[in-house]
């Protein structure tokens, strides 16, 4: 018996599939043909079995189904694509950079304006006080409001990146949190590149400057780079931070490979990692 998109054919006999779109879509994405006993489909079998009236209808159905299946597959594979994730991380960095700069300039202006009320957050937190005529020479309120909006955008972008990282690399995200996982992937230049890295490289990704200072002369080696942003490393007491970073880096190396080649979350692996991190902390 050979399964075609429109039905199962045994010799001259054709058992048509139900003519229902959802069922057919499922059917054509699941069939894998054994080419040893395969002959290309004969559309007339589909018409004899009453699946379609004529050739026109045959092609119309096939076109419709292939369009839909392909559309869905393209969308899925672009979602799993790490290229977009990397670009999103770049966008987030650019946004953060701008926010910090604007905030800095604003607070300096404010210092000139009213030296008694210092502190970097004042302008952005209370834009209303900087309306025209209330002491400011220049109206800062619109800029301060813009700044607040940008911060809101940054928060939502961060969230979106974490969600996206969850799909691109479910294991890394479960291990490190979506944002840190996304940053690591961006630093490495892609999930595939990350999966090819030894854990010692992953451990200090993002600490390149410190690493080269160490290699060139005298400086102590960096213990961690981007993964320092991971809560467990960050919160670990100084004495065992390096060890925790090492454990997490080595588990990240494995989880990146899981993500690349399997693409589904492995809970047991994550739990085991938790245990190992806890053990590394205890030995302090």
Partner 1 sequence: MIWIGNIPVSPGEGGVYGERMLEGYRVWDPFRSKFSALHMLGKEIELSPEMRVLYLGAAHGTTVSHVADYVEVVYAIERAPLPMRHLLRVAERRKNVIPILADAREPETYAHLLEEVDLLYQDVADQAQVEIALRNRIFLKTGGLLVLMLKVPCIDCTSGPEAILESARDGVAKGYEIFDHSWLAPYHEDHAAIMGKKKVVADE
Task: Number of residues interacting with partner 1: please give it, by CB under 8 A.
Answer: 29
Give the residue, chosen from 15, 23, 59, 235, that forms a contact with partner 1 under the rule CB under 8 A: 59
Asked if residue 180 lies in contact with residue 93, where contact means CB atoms within 8 angstroms, the answer is no
Helix (H) or strand (E) holding 9: strand 7-10
Which positions from 193 through 212 interact with partner 1, judged by CB under 8 A? none
Nearer residue to partner 1 within complex by CB, 55 or 279? 55
Task: Rule CB under 8 A: say whether 60 interacts with partner 1.
Answer: yes
- Cβ proximity to partner 1: between 62 and 161 the closer is 62
Minimal distance, residue 102 CB to partner 1, in Å: 35
Determine if 43 is a binding residue for partner 1 (CB under 8 A): yes
**Does residue 73 interact with partner 1 by CB under 8 A?**
yes
- Does 32 contact partner 1 by CB under 8 A? yes
Question: DSSP assignment of 125-188, as one string?
Answer: H-GGGGSBTTTBSS--HHHHHHHHHHHHHHHHHHHHHHHHHHHH-HHHHHHH-HHHHHHHHHHH
114 Cβ contact list (under 8 Å, min separation 6): 135
34 binds partner 1 (CB under 8 A): yes
Angstrom distance (rounded) from CA 203 to CA 249 = 5
Phi, psi (rounded to 5 degrees) for 14: -120, 125
Beta carbon of residue 33, minimum distance to partner 1 (angstroms, whole number): 4
Cα distance between the two ends of the chain: 65
Distance in Å, CB of 61 to partner 1, minimum: 11
Q: Which is nearer to partner 1, 169 or 176 (CB)?
A: 169
Quote the least distance from Cβ 1 to partner 1, whole Å: 12
CA angle 140, 143, 144 (to 5 degrees): 80
For the beta sheet containing 7-10, the strands, ordered from the edge strand earlier in sequence to the opposite edge, are: 2-4, 7-10, 13-16
Q: How far is the CB of 92 from partner 1 (least distance, A)?
A: 23
Residue ranges that bind partner 1, judged by CB under 8 A: 2-5, 28, 31-35, 38, 40-43, 59-60, 62-63, 66-67, 69-71, 73-74, 77-78, 81
């Amino acid at each position: 018996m050979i399964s075609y998109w429109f039905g199962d054919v045994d010799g001259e006999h054709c058992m048509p599939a139900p003519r229902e779109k959802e069922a057919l879509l499922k059917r054509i994405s699941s069939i894998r043909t054994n080419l040893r006993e395969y002959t290309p489909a004969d559309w007339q079998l589909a018409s004899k079995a009453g699946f379609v009236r004529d050739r026109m209808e045959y092609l119309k159905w096939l076109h419709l189904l292939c369009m839909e299946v392909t559309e869905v597959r393209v969308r899925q594979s672009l979602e799993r694509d790490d290229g977009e994730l990397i670009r999103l991380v770049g966008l987030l960095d650019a946004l953060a950079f701008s926010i910090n700069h604007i905030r800095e300039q604003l607070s300096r202006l404010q210092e000139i304006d009213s030296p008694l009320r210092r502190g970097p957050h004042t302008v952005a937190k209370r834009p209303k006080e900087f309306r025209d005529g209330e002491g400011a020479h220049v109206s800062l309120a619109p800029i301060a409001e813009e700044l607040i909006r940008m911060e809101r955008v940054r928060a939502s972008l961060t969230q979106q990146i974490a969600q996206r990282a969850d799909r691109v690399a479910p294991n890394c995200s479960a291990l490190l949190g979506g944002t840190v996982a996304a940053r690591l992937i961006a630093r490495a230049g892609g999930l595939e590149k990350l999966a090819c890295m030894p854990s010692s490289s992953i451990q200090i990704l993002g600490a390149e400057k410190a690493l080269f200072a160490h290699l060139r002369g005298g400086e102590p080696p960096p213990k961690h780079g981007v993964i320092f942003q991971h809560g467990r490393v960050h919160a670990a007491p100084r004495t065992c931070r390096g060890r925790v970073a090492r454990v997490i880096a080595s588990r990240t190396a494995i989880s990146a490979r899981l993500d690349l080649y399997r693409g589904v979350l492995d809970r047991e692996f994550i739990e085991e990692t938790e245990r190992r991190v806890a053990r590394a902390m205890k030995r302090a």
